Structure 1
Amino acid sequence: MAFQYQSLAASMAHKIYSGELIAGQRLNSLRQFAQKQGISLNTAKNCYELLEAQGLIYAQNKAGYFVKWQQLANPYDHLALPEHPDFQPASRDVSHLELQIQIQEDAINNQLIHLGSIQLSPNLIPTEALRRSVQRALKHCKPEDFLYSDRQGHPILREALSAHWAEDGFHIAAEQIYISNGCMPALSTIIQTITEPGDSIIVPTPNYNGQLQLLALLKRKIIEIPADSNGFDLERLAQAMQQPHAKACLLTANFQNPLGFCLSNQEKEKIAQLAAQYQCPVIEDDIYAECSHAQQRPLPIQYWDQHGYVVYCGSVSKSLSPSYRVGWFCLPTRLKHLHARLLIQNVLVNTPLQLGLADLIYSRAYRQHLTALKPKLHEQVQQYRDFIAHAFEGVEIRLNQPQGSYALWLQLPAQIDSWDLYCFAQQHGINIVPGLLFGGADRYRNCIRLNAGHELSEQIQQAIQLLANWVKKTLKI
């Protein structure tokens, strides 16, 4: 449940976005606002500070608070969203496995320009706050914290995560949380526990290539259902769940990679109902939920799970740091009988890092980081979209408009082979991920995924322009 200052800030933000409060308009003083709303001066201060962090208002010395936000005319708003082919779901093996592995290794090569792997710039990581939290955690830890840790995860971190999520409106008990070495190990552990080799897993397509690679390595087949910038068809999902070899779904409802869509609450509730109706578990990868471009974190599918068919997974690798290898999966009561098996499979996680993350949460430093991060991501992603549109001017491109996270899905003209573009980019020290890795039948051969997690530096601008020039040359424009 949101705090009072957050609800008040959301209400004021709506008035600013809708134009009820206009740029330059002077706001009530903190004391006036507190009296008008019937709240404490501290609550009023927290509300205004949150709006400041979102870039919606600003304080002027000795003059008070003013509305800052304004919707500027954007010459590139005409950009169309990517088109997506329709197809009938069918069970199949994951294709391009060797290529998946090769490109994933290239994507994390720090010698290349970061347009491949979806990761935050080091400048967006609260390194000082992390350092202080780890130091405090080490200073105050108990002697037993230096022994083998609890395979389920340190109780302090599990309690911290439970309290953190409760602030955002959904509740998972600490005893249901298992700490893992990141999100992918969490997914791997759950997939191996509730399915068998040869089983089929339902995924929307295009889908994160790392998940597809994981499923291939675990010898699971996939059943693809077509997705687009608005989500995916729940009727197709229901049909796929009824197939006898479909044993689970692997879904991201909040800011899916690579398309960036966020399903509605009604759709999430329906998915939870379908999972129970067809007894087809949903493994929910919610790794991008805290990278919303709005301050309110969207609820997960798990929130509507009444029968224990949703296994909630995530980590802080996209919202905090990819090197902070702390993730989790949350076991619903219905699957409690798997506890012992999960403990055997789960890998012990570094205790000081667990305690450091717990401190970061309890000290409010993580919440403050997220509050500041979200408007920065929104602005940064829009800068990338604008520059891409400018660089590719004259080329008929389509580009997604993510509601959160920082993955961009760029669709090029049908004549362009993104594999050829990938090879050209590699020769020039640039990282991109070609679309053929995100689904079967080479459906996305003319698409690429780009990372907008780094500042749009001059070096990155030059890299994007180089890609655009190659496309124009190939098209003879």
Structure 2
Amino acid sequence: MALYLNLAQRLIDDIQAQRLPEGSRLPALRTLAKQQAVSMTTATKAYDYLQESGWIYSRPQSGYFVSNRAQIVEFPTLSNQTLERRDPRRNAPQLGYNRPSEGFAPLGIAVLSPELLPAVPLQRTLKRVTQRNAQSLLQYSDFSGTTSVRNAIAQHFRDQHFPVHAYDLIVTHCCMSAVRLAVETLTQPGDTLAVSSPCFNGLLDLLSTLSRNIIEIPLTHQGLDLDALETCMKEGRIRAALLSTNHINPLGITLPNEQKQALAELANQYQIPIIEDDIYQDLGFQKHNPMPAKYWDKHGWILWCSSISKTLSPGMRLGWCLPGRFYQQCAEFHGRTNLGTSTLIQACVAEFFATGDYRQHLQTLRPKLQQQLGQYQQFLQQQLPSEARCSQPGGGLVLWLHVPGLDTDALQREALKDGIDIRSGRCFTTHNSYQDCLRINAGWALFDADQQPTQTHQQLTQLCELIRHKVAPKTDTG
């Protein structure tokens, strides 16, 4: 074993044995090199390996810290594994899969707070592009997107060693628009798609609206049940699959590369397309972004969809689809049903990417977001009953909670009375599963710049009080 791997493994052993607890600060690189009698190169490679594996994370000007990778939390899985075809319209919970929030609702919709978005750099970018290209911004763009924004998006991912050709992209209004384009191009009302379980509630709403049926494939911290998915493909039960692979909402896990490669191989073997919703790829906490399953797709059967809604600005409404072998069908359908995306927004995003502002924004955002999620996890651990479990995501915005014995449908209704928005476990399935689970967004800070509790902190405190009350042991008064 290489010297740096030996050093990394010793640190992993210390983390797993709690000799280095979560959140503890690690020695600086020079100190580590002296302590372990190794070169700076070896120390750096060891820390790089630990970051990429999710064991530690860095904070600018602060150093290296132990992450929560050591604790693997298991959650309830799909109780019904008969691969039954389900109509999401008939099984939606009382409040719907993804109902709109009202008022200040930081714990509901998965979104970053405005404080984490680069408002000032975006304003400067918008000013530059309007001064430079005012006349052209008044025109329609190509249905597939402007050349500049497709080039910028493609270059961004090529810099991450994910080869994307600009003219293979179709620009859409958001990731959900890209997913919808793929679903409507490939399937018809009444067709069945495989989805993971639990499944992002917005996708269930979309498929319900489009009158598509689903078969839920169990998802755990070990990954997706590929045997179940292959059974559906082999027996012709599905027309397509709609899956996420990186920082999957709501569990927060990322599929192993072996599973991503297997997905590409299954799609090609059975010639059944897979629509990949990869909206959180740029919000990973490791040094390098995980690759999508599309990276291993050599035959074009995966349609890869993403956007800037979770990273840059939900209000700018810009996403994209990389449809592979289905480019022509998707482009024609997109042209018939959509008059293109705002030329102004495309020009602004292209400029923001090309200048390096987007890359700089991500480099600043990721450690802040990881630290913020850590604060949520620590708070929940202190405030919730001891049997409660919280997810340990490697990226993304959301936390998945399991509180045994808690009726989260009732909790959601009670919380709404206090103006608190959450998503009960029933919002992520058509089965009677995850009834004691819930999802909260962690994209809003719990403390302000002066370390004073925010309104979000107040709502989370109220939510924890409701949970404690609902799972408190009943006193026998008989």
- Measured against the shorter chain, the TM-score band is 0.7 to 0.9
Instruction: Confirm or deny: 8 A CA contact 2:98 2:205 kept in the other structure.
Output: no
For residues 35-57 of structure 1, give each alpha carbon's deviation from its aligned partner in whole angstroms, at most 9, with x where no partner exists.
Answer: x98xxxxxxxxx9xx99xx7356
Aligned length: 432
For residues 29-78 of structure 1, give each alpha carbon's deviation from its aligned partner in whole angstroms, at most 9, with x where no partner exists.
Answer: xxxxxxx98xxxxxxxxx9xx99xx73563xxxxxxxx822438x8x987
Aligned to 1:446: 436
Choose the corresponding residue for 1:155, options 147, 161, 176: 147
Matched, 1:409 2:434: no
Aligned to 1:210: 202
Instruction: Confirm or deny: 8 A CA contact 2:268 2:301 kept in the other structure.
Output: yes
Report matched runs for 1:326-365 at 5 Å.
Answer: 326-333=318-325, 335-365=327-357
Instruction: Confirm or deny: 8 A CA contact 2:174 2:317 kept in the other structure.
Output: yes
State the SS of the aligned residue for 2:100: helix
1:145 deviates by 3.5
Matched, 1:466 2:462: yes
1:122 deviates by 0.7
1:470 deviates by 2.2
Aligned to 1:178: 170
Instruction: Confirm or deny: 8 A CA contact 1:16 1:56 kept in the other structure.
Output: no
Q: Tell me the C-alpha RMSD between the 2 structures.
A: 3.0
Structure 2 Cα separation of the partners of residues 371 and 118 of structure 1: 20
Structure 2 Cα separation of the partners of residues 84 and 77 of structure 1: 21
Instruction: Confirm or deny: 8 A CA contact 2:170 2:331 kept in the other structure.
Output: no
State the SS of the aligned residue for 1:254: coil
Matched, 1:386 2:398: no
State the SS of the aligned residue for 2:321: strand
Choose the corresponding residue for 2:224, options 232, 242, 254: 232
Instruction: Confirm or deny: 8 A CA contact 1:96 1:437 kept in the other structure.
Output: no
Letter aligned with residue 55 of structure 1 = S
Instruction: Confirm or deny: 8 A CA contact 1:398 1:412 kept in the other structure.
Output: yes
TM-score of the aligned structures, taking structure 1 as reference length: 0.84
Letter aligned with residue 27 of structure 2 = A
State the SS of the aligned residue for 1:104: coil
State the SS of the aligned residue for 2:370: helix
Structure 2 Cα separation of the partners of residues 447 and 263 of structure 1: 21
Choose the corresponding residue for 1:426, options 388, 396, 416: 416
Matched, 1:104 2:99: yes
Structure 2 Cα separation of the partners of residues 211 and 257 of structure 1: 10
Aligned to 1:475: 471
For residues 167-204 of structure 1, give each alpha carbon's deviation from its aligned partner in whole angstroms, at most 9, with x where no partner exists.
Answer: 01111211111111111111111111110110001000
Structure 2 Cα separation of the partners of residues 417 and 176 of structure 1: 46
Choose the corresponding residue for 1:91, options 75, 85, 88: 85
C-alpha change, 1:17 and 1:140, in structure 2 (3 Å) is: farther
Instruction: Confirm or deny: 8 A CA contact 1:307 1:334 kept in the other structure.
Output: no
Choose the corresponding residue for 2:183, options 172, 188, 191: 191
Sequence identity of aligned pairs in percent? 31
Aligned to 2:20: none
For residues 365-414 of structure 1, give each alpha carbon's deviation from its aligned partner in whole angstroms, at most 9, with x where no partner exists.
Answer: 000001111111111111101101111144x1122111110211111113
C-alpha change, 1:103 and 1:297, in structure 2 (3 Å) is: closer
1:160 deviates by 0.6
C-alpha change, 1:162 and 1:103, in structure 2 (3 Å) is: closer
Choose the corresponding residue for 1:400, options 391, 396, 399: 391
Aligned to 1:69: 64
C-alpha change, 1:470 and 1:142, in structure 2 (3 Å) is: closer
Instruction: Confirm or deny: 8 A CA contact 2:264 2:296 kept in the other structure.
Output: yes
Choose the corresponding residue for 1:137, options 129, 132, 137: 129
Choose the corresponding residue for 1:23, options 21, 27, 44: 27
Aligned to 1:55: 58
Structure 2 Cα separation of the partners of residues 468 and 338 of structure 1: 46
C-alpha change, 1:300 and 1:246, in structure 2 (3 Å) is: same
1:81 deviates by 3.2
Gaps of 5+ in 2: 15-24, 33-39, 42-47, 448-452, 474-478
C-alpha change, 1:56 and 1:428, in structure 2 (3 Å) is: closer
Structure 2 Cα separation of the partners of residues 22 and 205 of structure 1: 37
Report matched runs for 1:298-309 at 5 Å.
Answer: 298-309=290-301
For residues 253-274 of structure 1, give each alpha carbon's deviation from its aligned partner in whole angstroms, at most 9, with x where no partner exists.
Answer: 0011001110111111110000
Matched, 1:265 2:257: yes
Letter aligned with residue 58 of structure 2 = G
Structure 2 Cα separation of the partners of residues 401 and 360 of structure 1: 31
Structure 1 Cα separation of the partners of residues 127 and 440 of structure 2: 36
Structure 2 Cα separation of the partners of residues 155 and 295 of structure 1: 30
For residues 416-471 of structure 1, give each alpha carbon's deviation from its aligned partner in whole angstroms, at most 9, with x where no partner exists.
Answer: 21111011111111110111110022201111100001101423333223222223
Aligned to 1:436: 426
Gaps of 5+ in 1: 1-9, 29-35, 38-46, 59-66
Structure 2 Cα separation of the partners of residues 236 and 101 of structure 1: 27
For residues 68-110 of structure 1, give each alpha carbon's deviation from its aligned partner in whole angstroms, at most 9, with x where no partner exists.
Answer: 22438x8x9878432324422111100444745485212xx2x
C-alpha change, 1:14 and 1:351, in structure 2 (3 Å) is: farther
C-alpha change, 1:308 and 1:70, in structure 2 (3 Å) is: closer
Instruction: Confirm or deny: 8 A CA contact 1:199 1:245 kept in the other structure.
Output: no
Structure 2 Cα separation of the partners of residues 328 and 17 of structure 1: 40
